C-alpha cells in the first residue's frame, strides 16, 4: 500500500493562484503519463497515484514516486494454464440466451471501438485494426443489436505468427487442424445468465464446421471466473507455464508441470 500524507494543505502551494495550480497539476500528470508510456522501464504507477497527483499537485506525486518505482522494479511471477478444447466433443448449451455471433469484419470496428471506450481500453483500437490487416480472424457478440463482446483467433496460416505464442512461451505449435484463441471479452453486465457459455458454444460450433479439430488458448491461474467457464465447456488443462518478468531483464518462461 502507498502511504498517503495526512497533510491536507501545502502552505507553499496555497500561495500560487488556483488556476495556475490546476494547470501545473494537469501538466505534471500528463507529462508523467507520456513518460511512463515511452520509457523502456515500465513505471507501473497506479491510477491511485496519478489521481492523487491530479488532485493535490505534483508535490504529492513526487513524494509517492520512489515507492511506486520500487514496486515496478520488483520481479513478478505469473502462472498461465494452457488449455485445449477438443472440437469433436462440443457440449450442448443448456441455457438458451440472446447471444448471437457474426464473423468479425472491418465494418464492425467502430462498434468495437465504442466497446473499448466503455471498458476503458482504447489502446486496443489500434491492435484491432492491425490484426485485421494481418488477416487474423474473430467473432463479434451481440445481444439484440448491441455489441457485447468479441473473440479473436488465428490458425497456422497467420503471418506473422501470433506474438502471444512466443512472448509468453506457451509451447503451442499449431498445425492445419488447430486454432489459437487469443482474446475473449464480454461486458461485465452480460456475463451472467449463460451468455459466456453460449458465446463459446457458438464459436466452437462454427470452428468445427470450418474443419478445425482443436482450439488452444490460455488463462491466468488467478482468473477463477474464466477457469470455471472454460471447465464447464470442456477445455482441458494441458500444462502450466511459469512466467517471470522484471524490468531491464529478459523474460523467463518455463513449464512447471505437464
What value does the mean pLDDT of the chain take? Answer: 81
Which pLDDT band holds residue 67 (cuts at 50, 70, 90)? confident
- Cα separation, 37 vs 211, in Å, equals 42
Q: What is the pLDDT of residue 252?
A: 62
What is the DSSP secondary structure assignment for residue 65, as one 8-state letter? H
What does the pLDDT look like over 79-135, one tens digit per residue? Answer: 999 999 999 999 888 888 899 999 999 999 999 999 999 999 999 999 999 999 999
Does position 73 have pLDDT exceeding 80, yes or no? no
What does the pLDDT look like over 127-153, one tens digit per residue? Answer: 999 999 999 999 999 999 999 999 999
Percent of the chain surpassing pLDDT 90: 57
Neighbours of 232 (CB within 10 A): 15
Q: Are 83 and 216 in contact (CB under 8 A)?
A: yes
Helix intervals (H) in 8-156: 11-14, 18-38, 47-56, 58-73, 109-118, 124-133
For residue 33, CA distances in Å to 2, 11, 42, 54, 134 come to: 19, 27, 11, 12, 29
Which pLDDT band holds residue 20 (cuts at 50, 70, 90)? low
User: What domains sit in the chain, N to C, each tagged with a CATH number?
Assistant: 11-73 (no CATH), 77-257 (3.40.630.30)
Q: What is the pLDDT of residue 39?
A: 47
Q: Are 133 and 208 in contact (CB under 8 A)?
A: no
- Cα separation, 22 vs 56, in Å, equals 9
Amino acid at each position: 500500500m502507498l502511504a498517503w500524507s495526512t497533510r491536507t494543505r501545502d502552505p507553499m502551494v496555497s500561495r500560487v493562484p488556483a488556476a495556475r495550480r490546476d494547470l501545473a497539476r494537469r501538466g505534471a500528470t500528463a507529462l508523467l503519463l507520456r513518460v511512463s508510456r515511452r520509457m523502456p522501464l515500465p513505471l507501473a504507477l497506479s491510477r491511485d497515484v496519478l489521481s492523487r497527483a491530479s488532485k493535490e499537485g505534483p508535490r504529492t506525486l513526487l513524494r509517492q514516486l520512489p515507492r511506486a518505482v520500487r514496486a515496478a522494479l520488483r520481479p513478478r511471477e505469473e502462472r498461465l494454464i494452457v488449455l485445449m478444447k477438443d472440437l469433436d466433443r462440443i457440449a450442448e448449451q443448456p441455457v438458451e440466451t440472446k447471444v448471437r455471433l457474426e464473423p468479425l469484419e472491418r465494418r464492425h470496428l467502430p462498434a468495437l471501438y465504442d466497446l473499448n471506450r466503455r471498458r476503458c481500453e482504447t489502446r486496443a483500437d489500434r491492435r484491432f485494426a492491425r490484426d485485421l490487416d494481418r488477416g487474423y480472424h474473430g467473432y463479434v457478440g451481440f445481444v439484440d443489436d448491441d455489441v457485447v463482446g468479441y473473440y479473436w483467433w488465428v490458425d497456422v496460416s497467420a503471418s506473422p505468427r501470433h506474438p502471444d505464442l512466443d512472448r509468453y512461451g506457451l509451447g503451442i505449435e499449431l498445425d492445419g487442424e488447430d486454432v489459437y484463441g487469443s482474446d475473449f471479452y464480454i461486458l461485465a453486465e452480460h456475463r451472467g445468465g449463460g451468455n459466456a457459455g453460449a458465446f463459446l458454444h457458438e464459436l466452437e460450433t462454427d470452428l468445427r464446421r470450418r474443419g478445425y479439430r482443436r482450439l488452444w488458448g490460455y488463462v491466468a491461474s488467478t482468473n477463477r471466473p474464466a477457469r470455471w467457464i472454460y471447465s464447464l465447456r470442456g477445455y482441458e488443462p494441458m500444462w502450466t507455464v511459469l512466467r517471470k518478468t522484471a524490468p531491464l531483464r529478459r523474460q523467463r518462461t518455463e513449464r512447471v508441470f505437464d
